[in-house]
Amino acid sequence: MKKLTFLAVALMMSVAAMAQQALWGGAAVVSPEVHPDNSVTFRYNAPKARTVQVVGDFIPGDNGGTVAMTQNDKGVWEYTTEPLASELYSYSFIVDGVRGVSDPSNVYQIRDVASVTNYFVIGGGQGDLYLNKDVPHGSIHKDWYYCSQEGFNRRVTVYTPAAYDGKKRFPVLYLLHGIGGDEEAWMDLGRASQILDNLIASGKAEPMIVVMTNGNISQQAAPGYGPEGFVVPSMGLPKTMEGSFEAAFPEVVKFIDGKYRTIAKKSSRAIAGLSMGGFHSMQISKEYPDMFDYVGLFSAALSVGGQQAGSPIYENVDQKVDTQFAKGLKLYWIACGNTDFLYQNNLNYMASLKERGHDYIYYETGGGHIWRNWRDYLSKFLPQLFK
């Protein structure tokens, strides 16, 4: 007993000493601390700093705001919020004017394009959908498929439900990201696997396969996962929204139907996306009108017909959408925040659909072009699928 215990303790102390305190160790403060009333205290242990602010999407402002922290007598900067609604929140610090400083006390971080922020979740409401609960979990797969149009391999994220056992077949949702995102975005920022696990476990959504593609057609994989190396992630990738991604889409469907036990027919296929991914979902679903019975456009980057960018995909859009509706579908679901810069654009698109006699369902929220809305839209969209 003594010998092993000694070894284990020595191991822990040695590794701790080397890997933690000596070389990397950060501040020994608790941050963030969620209090029983759901107010949250942030702490940053910087005795010599002259100003420290916290930037967060829980602070009022167009897309979040900034508030000053105050230094206590031990040199630790602190700020405590009002009680917060149940949600996933992001934040970082501004230290002596330097933006984007991570909280060294919080290892939970998400990348959004080229920014990394810390996050935390307040449970007890909508945020419960974003937590890993003690429920049956689906599997996450990172696969690669060959894209013959572009002539290289492309990475894709696939969720298979807990009930996926290699025998039964399941319907498939294709879930697309926006500009600046990639095949990681819906998992990391969108909490897709948690939302799916929780909605399926509670019987609110059908068990389904969810495929999260990389919509940047010129890119093999998310930054850091492809041969492009450790690039600085950016928005303006070549060939974005020029029709190539939409043109190549049947190949990913074929790959998924070949690799996974899918129900490979229109009545068991859905496509949805946010922003650019909503635009892609609209274009792809109308281009292949026999492929999807369910369409979801989340804060979609739509304009009313007539898009052209040198690709046949963007020609005769209205006419193709008319054909799509004429062939029949089960759900055309549009969601947007009323302060989104694409709000009017979405209203115009719906007015045109209505004028042409097409049925859709519209879900309007407050807020703008933000992940809080997209997580909410996903959680409202999923229960309507494959019933």
Asked if 277 touches its own copies (CB under 8 A), the answer is no
Nearer to its own copies by Cβ, of 309 and 326: the residue is 309
Q: Give the Cα separation of 208 and 386 in Å (integer).
A: 9
Helix (H, G, I), strand (E, B) or coil at 58: coil
CB of residue 387 to its own copies, shortest distance in Å: 26
**23 Ramachandran zone, left/alpha/beta (phi>0; psi -120 to 50):** alpha
CB of residue 277 to its own copies, shortest distance in Å: 11
- Angle, in degrees to the nearest 10, between helices 192-201 and 371-381: 30
- In this structure, the chain runs to a length of 387
Give Rg (Cα) of the chain.
23
CB of residue 136 to its own copies, shortest distance in Å: 7
CB of residue 139 to its own copies, shortest distance in Å: 5
Asked if 46 touches its own copies (CB under 8 A), the answer is yes
Site for its own copies in 336-355 (CB under 8 A): 341-342, 345
Asked if 314 touches its own copies (CB under 8 A), the answer is yes
| Of the candidate residues 101, 211, 217, 382, the single one contacting its own copies (CB under 8 A) | 101
Q: What angle do CA 158, 159, 162 make, to 5 degrees?
A: 150
The residues with which 210 forms a beta bridge, in sequence order, are 159, 173
Nearer to its own copies by Cβ, of 50 and 387: the residue is 50
Nearer to its own copies by Cβ, of 85 and 98: the residue is 98
Nearer to its own copies by Cβ, of 296 and 368: the residue is 368
Q: Are strands 331-337 and 361-365 parallel, antiparallel or unpaired?
A: parallel
CB of residue 181 to its own copies, shortest distance in Å: 10
The residues with which 70 forms a beta bridge, in sequence order, are 78
CB of residue 206 to its own copies, shortest distance in Å: 20
Q: If we measure between CA atoms, which residue out of 117, 103, 131 comes closest to residue 31?
A: 103
| Of the candidate residues 216, 275, 285, 324, the single one contacting its own copies (CB under 8 A) | 275
Nearer to its own copies by Cβ, of 49 and 291: the residue is 49
| Of the candidate residues 125, 224, 312, 366, the single one contacting its own copies (CB under 8 A) | 224
CB of residue 87 to its own copies, shortest distance in Å: 14
**Buried b or exposed e, range 55-72, using 16+ CB within 10 angstroms:** bbbbbeeeebeeeebebe
Site for its own copies in 233-272 (CB under 8 A): 233, 235-236, 240-241, 259
| Of the candidate residues 147, 201, 212, 221, the single one contacting its own copies (CB under 8 A) | 221
Applying CB under 8 A, the site for its own copies has a residue count of 111
CB of residue 267 to its own copies, shortest distance in Å: 25
Phi and psi of 236, rounded to 5°?
-90, 65
Which spans in 17-129 are helix H?
A: none
The residues with which 270 forms a beta bridge, in sequence order, are 173, 294
C-beta separation of 178 from 277 below 8 A:
yes
| Of the candidate residues 144, 343, 362, 363, the single one contacting its own copies (CB under 8 A) | 144
| Per-residue binding letters, 48-77, with its own copies (x by CB under 8 A) | xxx----x-x---xxxx-------------
Site for its own copies in 161-190 (CB under 8 A): 162, 166, 178-180
The residue written with tokens 């990397």 in the block is 24
Q: Give the Cα separation of 218 and 308 in Å (integer).
A: 19
CB of residue 318 to its own copies, shortest distance in Å: 13
Q: If we measure between CA atoms, which residue out of 197, 133, 120 comes closest to residue 161?
A: 197
C-beta separation of 376 from 365 below 8 A:
yes
| Per-residue binding letters, 104-143, with its own copies (x by CB under 8 A) | xxxxxx-xxxxxxx--xx---------xxxx-xx-xxxxx
Q: Give the Cα separation of 321 and 288 in Å (integer).
A: 10
